[in-house]
């Protein structure tokens, strides 16, 4: 394991509060919500594991080796399973990054249900076709407004990036306009980032 | 299409100077490898590409005079493999962009593109010989883009994808797999952002000329004027690409270049996008602003 203090970017003389702050900042940066449907999510997950292990190791050392592990963030990287076998195949293809297969499977389905639109959205997002991703997610949510999985994907796109260094606003229409800073500030509530706009 | 990347306005002095050394280093490398005629293609976009392709250390710095700074001279990075790669790729990108300009204009208005591309031709031939894969992919993607524009492709994402893939290919020479993945994603979304910002900047001009514009088609803006809803939606899609750039950037150690890249991805691109959407970008010189050391 790398030096846990180096992983968190702090010195060994850092106070407990500084350790906690550094950990929280990094955990926010590599949070699964920040990499939802992101083709580089696996790399972020590795980073997150490294940060969690470093934080636990520092806590263990500072408590004389007696503190139980498991205090770090354990984010959900779960992928819900679809109802029909073909949708499960699409999800499996997306999961391993085989976007071409996921697309051809979706193309072969003539019944365009809410799940079909949701998966089209996930495929578009992975390809970087963000405008179409947004529109597919919106259609899925309109067809099944109470589906939490579709709603979550749409909300994460609408709310933008939960992380930005120094608390600066993240957004083209916020840039250089201090009046909008508050409007664009994210608030942390119930473990999810919600945009105040 | 180039000219939308700028060093962020709020860059600290030390980082502004570091960016300047990369800018002058790329200029020098272009001159060294391709002669003085190739130095006129220099811009901030290609400097950002050079920085992205650079290692974590800045490398050797040299103080010297040049045509642009004949009296006091400037500090610049010594030529290294990253600057050489960026110079080769910049020549190929600039050449095909000029050829695209020839195709897009009638004989008279295409003259300047034809003239400049003829001057750049020897440099291009040499660069294409060194980087045949990148030359091939750039040509392929621009042909694809011309086809989509010809058939008035209504999908903004599909049109932008051609330029995004084109820029993504600039990472193909990177050997380390994780670094290549990070750079591919970053450059894909930088390309998407550049294409879309350029289309937004050209909205009214294209409307007046009756030219294809993917943003106007997507939002139904025949006069080239934004509605508040379309403006918000377009800004959101730009932000999604910037988010993808920023999240990719956080997964690799860019060493001494981290502050300038952080400012670029977390504020610089927003500033340019906002100026384009407000219509103030062109008024402040726009992408035709003559390049000079930052």
Name, in order, each residue with C-beta under 8 angstroms of B255's C-beta and a sequence gap of 6 or more. B55, B56, B57
How does residue B102 score in pLDDT terms, banded at 50, 70 and 90? low
Task: Determine which of A28, A130, A170 to mutate to test the interface with B (most B C-beta atoms within 10 Å).
Answer: A130
| Antiparallel, parallel or unpaired: β A192-195 and A186-189 | antiparallel
User: d(Cα B97, Cα A92) in Å, to the nearest integer?
Assistant: 40
Angle between helices B44-53 and B177-201 (to 10 degrees): 170
Q: Is B111 on the interface with A (CB under 8 A)?
A: no
Which alpha helices (H) appear in A128-174, and where do they start and end?
130-143, 148-159
**pLDDT score, position A99:** 94
DSSP 3-state of A172:
coil
DSSP 3-state of A189:
strand
User: d(Cα A67, Cα A95) in Å, to the nearest integer?
Assistant: 35
User: d(Cα A85, Cα A90) in Å, to the nearest integer?
Assistant: 9
Domain ranges of chain B: 13-278
The DSSP output letter for A84 is S
Tokens in use for A16?
């407990």
Task: Work out the average pLDDT over B128-144.
Answer: 95
Min mean pLDDT across A8-17, A63-72, A144-153, A183-192 is at A183-192
pLDDT, tens only, B262-273: 999 998 899 899
Task: Work out the average pLDDT over A45-56.
Answer: 94
Chain-chain contact of B250 with A29 (C-beta, under 8 angstroms): yes
Contact B78, B61 (CB under 8 A): yes
Q: Is B248 on the interface with A (CB under 8 A)?
A: yes
Instruction: Write down how long chain B is.
Output: 294
Q: Which of residues 20-79 of B touch A (CB under 8 A)?
A: none
Chain-chain contact of B181 with A170 (C-beta, under 8 angstroms): no
How does residue A192 score in pLDDT terms, banded at 50, 70 and 90? very low
User: d(Cα A108, Cα A59) in Å, to the nearest integer?
Assistant: 52
Pick the more confident residue, B70 or B154.
B154
pLDDT, tens only, A101-120: 999 999 999 999 999 999 99
**pLDDT score, position B110:** 67
Q: CA B22, A174, A25 angle in degrees (round to 5)?
A: 70
Task: Work out the average pLDDT over B26-41.
Answer: 91
Q: How many CB pairs under 8 A join A and B?
A: 101
Numbered residues of chain A with Cβ closer than 8 Å to any chain B Cβ:
29-30, 34-35, 38-40, 43-44, 47, 124, 127-134, 157-158, 160-161, 164-165, 168, 170-177
Q: Does domain B13-278 have CATH number 1.10.600?
A: yes
Q: What percent of chain A is predicted at pLDDT more than 90?
A: 59
Q: Considering only CA atoms, which of B172, B162, B17 is closest in space to residue B88? A: B172
Contact B92, B66 (CB under 8 A): no
Mean residue pLDDT of chain B comes to 89
User: d(Cα A57, Cα A68) in Å, to the nearest integer?
Assistant: 10
DSSP 3-state of B293:
coil
Min mean pLDDT across A100-104, A187-191, B202-206 is at A187-191
Interface confidence (ipTM) of the complex: 0.89
Contact A168, B266 (CB under 8 A): yes
Contact B139, B129 (CB under 8 A): no
Task: Determine which of A30, A44, A172, A176 to mutate to test the interface with B (most B C-beta atoms within 10 Å).
Answer: A172
Find tokens 């959205």 and name the residue: A121
Chain A residues with beta carbon closer than 8 angstroms to that of B235: 171-173
Name, in order, each residue with C-beta under 8 angstroms of B175's C-beta and a sequence gap of 6 or more. none
Q: Considering only CA atoms, which of B15, B34, B25, B91 is closest in space to residue B54? A: B25
E-state strands within chain A? 186-189, 192-195
Q: What's the pTM?
A: 0.89
Contact A73, A56 (CB under 8 A): no
């Amino acid at each position: 394991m790398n030096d846990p203090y180096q992983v968190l970017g702090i010195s060994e003389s850092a106070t407990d509060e500084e350790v906690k702050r550094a950990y929280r900042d990094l955990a926010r940066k590599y949070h699964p919500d920040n990499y939802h449907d992101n083709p580089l999510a696996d790399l972020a997950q590795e980073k997150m594991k490294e940060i969690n292990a470093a934080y636990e190791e520092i806590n263990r050392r500072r408590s004389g080796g007696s503190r139980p592990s498991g205090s770090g963030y354990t984010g959900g990287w779960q992928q819900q399973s679809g109802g029909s076998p073909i949708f499960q195949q699409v999800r499996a293809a997306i999961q391993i990054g085989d976007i071409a297969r996921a697309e051809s499977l979706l193309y072969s389905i003539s019944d365009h249900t809410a799940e079909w639109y949701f998966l089209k959205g996930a495929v578009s997002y992975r390809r970087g076709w963000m405008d179409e991703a947004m529109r597919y997610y919106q259609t899925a949510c309109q067809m099944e407004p109470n589906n939490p999985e579709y709603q979550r994907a749409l909300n994460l796109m609408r709310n933008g990036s939960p992380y930005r260094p120094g608390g600066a606003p993240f957004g083209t229409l916020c840039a250089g306009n201090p009046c909008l800073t508050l409007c664009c500030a994210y608030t942390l509530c119930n473990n999810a980032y919600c945009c105040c706009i | 299409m180039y000219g939308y990347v700028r060093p962020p306005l709020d860059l600290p002095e030390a980082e502004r100077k570091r960016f300047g050394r990369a800018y002058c280093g790329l200029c020098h490398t272009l001159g060294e490898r391709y002669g003085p005629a190739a130095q006129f293609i220099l811009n901030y976009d290609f400097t950002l590409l050079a920085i992205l392709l650079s290692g974590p250390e800045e490398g050797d710095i040299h103080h010297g005079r040049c045509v642009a700074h004949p009296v006091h001279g400037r500090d610049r990075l010594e030529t290294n493999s990253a600057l050489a790669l960026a110079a080769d790729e910049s020549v190929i990108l600039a050449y095909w962009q000029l050829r695209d300009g020839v195709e897009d204009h009638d004989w008279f208005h295409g003259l300047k593109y034809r003239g400049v591309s003829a001057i750049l031709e020897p440099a291009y031939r040499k660069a294409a010989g060194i980087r045949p894969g990148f030359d091939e992919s750039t040509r392929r993607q621009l042909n694809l883009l011309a086809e989509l524009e010809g058939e008035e492709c209504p999908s903004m994402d599909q049109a932008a994808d051609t330029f995004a893939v084109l820029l993504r290919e600039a990472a193909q020479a990177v050997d380390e797999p994780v670094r290549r993945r990070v750079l591919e994603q970053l450059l894909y979304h930088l390309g998407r952002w550049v294409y879309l910002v350029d289309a937004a900047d050209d909205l009214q001009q294209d409307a007046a000329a009756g030219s294809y514009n993917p943003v106007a088609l997507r939002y139904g803006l025949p006069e080239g004027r934004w509605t508040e809803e379309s403006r918000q939606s377009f800004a959101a899609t730009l932000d999604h690409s910037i988010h993808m750039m920023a999240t990719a950037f956080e997964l690799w150690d860019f060493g001494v270049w981290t502050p300038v890249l952080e400012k670029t991805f977390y504020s610089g691109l927003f500033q340019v996008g906002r100026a384009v959407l407000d219509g103030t970008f062109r008024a402040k010189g726009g992408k035709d602003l003559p390049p000079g050391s930052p």
